[in-house]
Amino acid sequence: MTDVVIAGIGQTPVGEHWDVSLRDLAERAMLAAIADAGGLRPDALYVGNFLSPVVSHQANLGALLVDHAGLNGIEAFTVEAAGASGAGALHMGYLAVASGYVDAALVIGVEKYTDQTGSELETAIAQSMDNDYEAVHGLTPTGQAALLMQRYLHDCDVPRQALGAFALIAHANGAGNPNAMYRKAIRPETYARAGLVSDPLNLFDVAPYADGAAAALLTRPELLPEAARARLVRVSGSSVAIDRLALHDRPDPLAFEAAGVSLQRACRQAGILPGDVDFFELCDAYSIYAALSLEAAGFARRGEGWRLAERGELNLDGRLPISTLGGLKARGNPLGAAGLYQAVEAVQQLRGEAGANQLAHPRRALVQSLGGPAATAVTHVLERLN
């Protein structure tokens, strides 16, 4: 397989874009990524989106966005895997370029959550779970995360406030990201006083759903002028794994098996060990997800992922920074677009363009996105080419 690099990135601020349509939001990120790649024209567009058919009454987004961006003639599809949709689009773009089938693939994650309001939204998001056995009985992703957290606190004898360390990290980092939804650090007392959303999850254990679009342009390095190569980031690992969808089917609900499998595979493909990376953009849709992701990746023993956070090892100046531009928690969770925000932010770090949150000379990132309760797990290893 040939080398695949990210030559351009683009993103809109994450938040509530009441005055922007899905197609306009997407276009901003797409055109920004193309411009950032020096105007390189893509041969294909893969669109990561989760909610549009239900929330915006619009399917066939490949055709819609190619048309809207004036790229007619190229190929396009929607890739859907709930919250991992954006990461899935990145994976598909990677395959298309790696196969030699296309020279340049534009991948975009877009979510226009605010095209609806009210209870239909939580119903729509619950489609990421097993509808017939879970959602139809009233369970939501947030309710499910609460069950997982309860089990974690009980089984692993973890103090209730321990997971708050993840929210503190995310909000501290969000403060330095101009595209983040929440740009204010919070204090431990703020976390401790926060109202419950679904016992034991409080407001700061739950990432806010939001609108947003992020895009990346993938190509082969030899197709770019020499001058452009200094900023390139290589996709050196790209792997997807599936776990049982319904939580009740899993032998151990606290083991995010697919997360572990896809991460191991991506690292093997990149020829590295997980510990060889400089930072980890993980899925902190819920604080409990962050803890379980660290444990599935082998960075912490079972029941101890939160200790890394508490000891400061996951801060920007720590051993393994996470959520370096705010994560889903503070940057916001634009669902089907989240995976591409994570990848775009990793590229910002690797290029040295992360502003106030810049890590010291990072060479290599792990980026992981989860769809459903870690039923779909997508992991990428991204590396500076030079």
* CA–CA separation, 177 and 225 (whole Å): 30
* CA–CA separation, 370 and 87 (whole Å): 9
| Least Cβ distance, residue 173 to a copy of itself (angstroms) | 28
| Least Cβ distance, residue 250 to a copy of itself (angstroms) | 10
- Residues 6+ positions from 32 with CB-CB distance below 8 Å: 8, 9, 10, 11, 215
Q: Which is nearer to a copy of itself, 67 or 252 (CB)?
A: 67
Report DSSP state, residue 39: T
253 token code pair: 């609900």
Q: Which is nearer to a copy of itself, 95 or 153 (CB)?
A: 95
Q: Which is nearer to a copy of itself, 36 or 243 (CB)?
A: 243
Q: Which is nearer to a copy of itself, 308 or 366 (CB)?
A: 366
| Least Cβ distance, residue 186 to a copy of itself (angstroms) | 31
| Least Cβ distance, residue 274 to a copy of itself (angstroms) | 18
| Backbone Cα Rg of the chain | 19
| Least Cβ distance, residue 165 to a copy of itself (angstroms) | 30
| Least Cβ distance, residue 139 to a copy of itself (angstroms) | 13
Q: What is the dihedral of CA 97, 98, 99, 101, to 10 degrees?
A: 10
| Least Cβ distance, residue 65 to a copy of itself (angstroms) | 9
* CA–CA separation, 265 and 224 (whole Å): 29
| Least Cβ distance, residue 339 to a copy of itself (angstroms) | 12
Phi, psi of 235 (to 5 degrees): -90, 95
320 token code pair: 């393994």
What Cα–Cα distance (Å) separates residue 225 from each residue in 7, 97, 221, 372, 386? 11, 18, 8, 41, 14
| Least Cβ distance, residue 55 to a copy of itself (angstroms) | 10
255 token code pair: 């083991």
Q: Which is nearer to a copy of itself, 71 or 207 (CB)?
A: 71
| Least Cβ distance, residue 41 to a copy of itself (angstroms) | 14
Q: Which is nearer to a copy of itself, 23 or 384 (CB)?
A: 23
204 token code pair: 């700061």
367 - beta bridge partners? 281, 380
Q: Which is nearer to a copy of itself, 186 or 370 (CB)?
A: 370
Q: Which is nearer to a copy of itself, 124 or 367 (CB)?
A: 124
Phi/psi zone of residue 70: left (φ > 0), alpha (ψ -120 to 50 degrees), beta?
Answer: left
CA quadruple 368, 258, 160, 122: dihedral sign: positive
Widest pairwise Cα distance in the chain: 57
Where do contacts with a copy of itself occur on this chain (CB under 8 A)? 1, 21, 23, 44-45, 50, 53-54, 56-64, 66-67, 71-82, 88, 91-92, 95-96, 98-101, 123-124, 127-132, 135-136, 239-246, 249, 257-258, 261-262, 371-372, 375-376
- Residues 6+ positions from 118 with CB-CB distance below 8 Å: none
Q: Which is nearer to a copy of itself, 218 or 354 (CB)?
A: 218
Closest to 20 measured CA to CA, from 147, 114, 159: 114
Give the pairing type, strands 233-242 and 196-198: unpaired
Q: Which is nearer to a copy of itself, 137 or 195 (CB)?
A: 137
